[in-house]
A and B are shown apart, each in its own frame.
Chain A
């Protein structure tokens, strides 16, 4: 993991001191509320429905046990004993007091963390594949470049007052687990024909009210030219992005309006005028960062561990959990293990301080003190020996963290919605809970197989509903909540925006409607075909018919 040096440390300390003066200046009247707002947002402080919310950056979703313990402590001391992991791999506290925020920032700085640019019209926290450095299908661990971008984008003098927020996601793998095509910039580590490693860049993806899939802007950016290229791209966006309408201000709209060819040409023209390689960061700097991400010293283990196999045979519940919650590790005898934060009936992504401590302890004991946060709002222990999995499963079970539903229909992504969010038009957590209850039976879930349900409480789409296999969008129609159902979205390398099935339905009808859609799949699936594969093959029609039938029945 990356560790701060004296300069990184001084930087976050200075940031906390700066925020203290900003709060003071707001109180003294030196800053107006309008002026203070972006300053607090860029320190992660939101004004929510009932209270302030604090969003803490978890850069590229990597945490240490020590950091997670500190988050647990903050949750206990300044919140109500729990936190909420988000689709951007961050952690939110929903009930801190504004006056406590500088103190919380101090506590974060103590463990090399911060809230810098977790909100506001700036380059946000960089997200990454949660299996970075572990996955077998990886060209290279993308976290060093994510850290390089984190540093470069932190308080960038030129790009801190952009037209709108700007999100970057990175992956080093073939299979996209970081939804890079749904980001303002998606970066993929690639190898060119000459065997050199560089970056493929996608631009203009994003969800919100105008969902778009990212387009390739450059197939190969050499490693030492990345920051220069990003500087050129950001400058074009900063100058040309629309500022007349906040709903048209994201880079996706600029790319859409002028076309990807023209956008590319403008970036290349700007890039050509810059000094090219080595100015913003030399390769030594990237090498310095990369050294921190060297894999831990794995033991030499056999690929098959007889005791582990025996435990699975003896205990079907354990076997089921292993099947859904483990991911193949590149080191033989090891596994990356996902801890579901979606127990039936709880708010997706929530973890209590107690649970955070349990996970921190288990990570220390079994996973080189490392934890990842996934954009699906779960946690990962990335380096677990197979021989330890059974003991881990038992310990997780005692903490209520052994739900065997990763990737299944109850592993729902949901934004906070009307329970917390000031922008919400409808509830989303209760919808997730009602679906989880409906599909609680695990053997049924397993029979249905991989299925991503994603729920947003308004058009801003923080719950990524557009790219859910089934998407649910909560709207308000004549004073009542109304839910729009979409089908066929995909957040991976096959990225697709889901299509609307029909008119909105009320909250109570949602579980039955989803049941119908699942019914169509079960009736038509071929051997081994997943839900999304069946949707692609069958098209919308049979699902639409079932959906509309239901609506007609209800009417």
Chain B
């Protein structure tokens, strides 16, 4: 099951590389060859382990449409930091978390820069899409400014509320 913040999503990417796929997902070891063979193709993704160094991906960030990061188990949180580091390094393509995450991690994944989650069938069967969408909305706001869109963190809202109150006061 593939999902993003809007719901279920069709997966365009193929992990077996033939000739006709518009979107392919290859391991890190094959990335240079794939990029060379498909020069100009905008549908190339790489799938990496959560032990991969961001520096190893850095040279390719502009050519990759998608980076999929493996979560070997939901309790291994390295993928969150890799995603955040890739965003910090300027990666603008799609970030996908692949593995048995739980719905309660969806908001975290989105906050760290992931766009979508690819779940194994077993976890998907237990956790239908509604649970994921509800879990992503569990909190009206959270504190971390570096992990929230501009203006969305509690800190920003606090100041907005204060400024709003000040303006109101000035208007009276």
Report A's interface with B, CB cutoff 8 A: 5-8, 10-11, 14-15, 17-18, 21-22, 25, 29-32, 35, 38-39, 121, 151-152, 154-162, 231, 235, 238-239, 243, 273-274, 279-282, 284-285, 288
Contacts and interface: CB of A to CB of B under 8 A. Distances in A.
Given A7-B141, A39-B104, A284 B159 contact: yes
Q: Which of A156, A161, A281 has the most CB of B within 10 A?
A: A161
Given A7-B141, A238-B77, A30 B159 contact: no
Contacts of B141: 7, 10-11
B167 interface: no
A123 to B, nearest CB: 12
B85 interface: yes
Contacts of A285: 155, 158
Contacts of B111: 157-158
Contacts of A160: 77, 108
Contacts of A284: 159
Contacts of B76: 161, 243
B88 A17 contact: no
Given A11-B142, A14-B140, A284-B159, A158 B126 contact: no
Contacts of A279: 145-146
A45 B85 CA distance: 32
B131 interface: yes
B158 A7 contact: yes
B147 interface: yes
A14 B139 contact: yes
Main secondary structure of the interface of A (DSSP, over half): helix
B112 A157 contact: yes
B88 A274 contact: yes
A19 B120 CA distance: 24
B77 A161 contact: yes
Nearest to A282: B155
Contacts of A156: 144, 147
Nearest to A17: B138
A7 B154 CA distance: 6
B94 interface: no
Contact of A280 (B78, B126, B127, B144): B144
A231 B147 CA distance: 11
B161 to A, nearest CB: 8
Given A157-B108, A273-B88, A11 B82 contact: no
A31 B100 CA distance: 11
Interface of chain B: mostly helix, strand, loop or mixed: helix
The size class of the interface chain B forms with chain A is: 35 or more
Contact of B102 (A14, A31, A243): A31
B80 A238 contact: yes
Contacts of B138: 14, 17-18, 21
Contacts of B16: none
Given A7-B158, A18-B104, A280 B84 contact: no
A280 B135 CA distance: 24
Contacts of B157: 7
Contact of B155 (A10, A121, A281): A281
B139 A22 contact: no
A155 B142 contact: yes
Nearest to A237: B81
Q: Which 4 A/B pairs are nearest by Cβ-Cβ distance?
A: A161-B77, A157-B111, A157-B108, A7-B154
Interface in B116-172: 126-127, 131, 134-135, 138-147, 154-155, 157-159, 161
A14 B107 CA distance: 14
B147 A11 contact: no
13 contacts: A5-B158, A25-B127, A31-B102, A31-B127, A38-B75, A155-B139, A158-B84, A158-B112, A159-B77, A162-B77, A231-B146, A243-B76, A282-B155
Contact of A35 (B74, B77, B135): B74
Contacts of A31: 102, 126-127
Contacts of A30: 103, 126-127, 131
B145 A281 contact: yes
A274 B81 CA distance: 13
Nearest to A7: B154
Contact of B81 (A38, A151, A239): A239
Given A11-B142, A156-B147, A157-B111, A151 B80 contact: no
A301 to B, nearest CB: 37
A284 B159 CA distance: 9
Nearest to B134: A21
A15 B76 CA distance: 22
A7 B162 CA distance: 12
A6 B85 CA distance: 32
Of B74, B112, B142, most A-chain CB atoms within 10 Å: B142
Contacts of B139: 11, 14-15, 18, 155
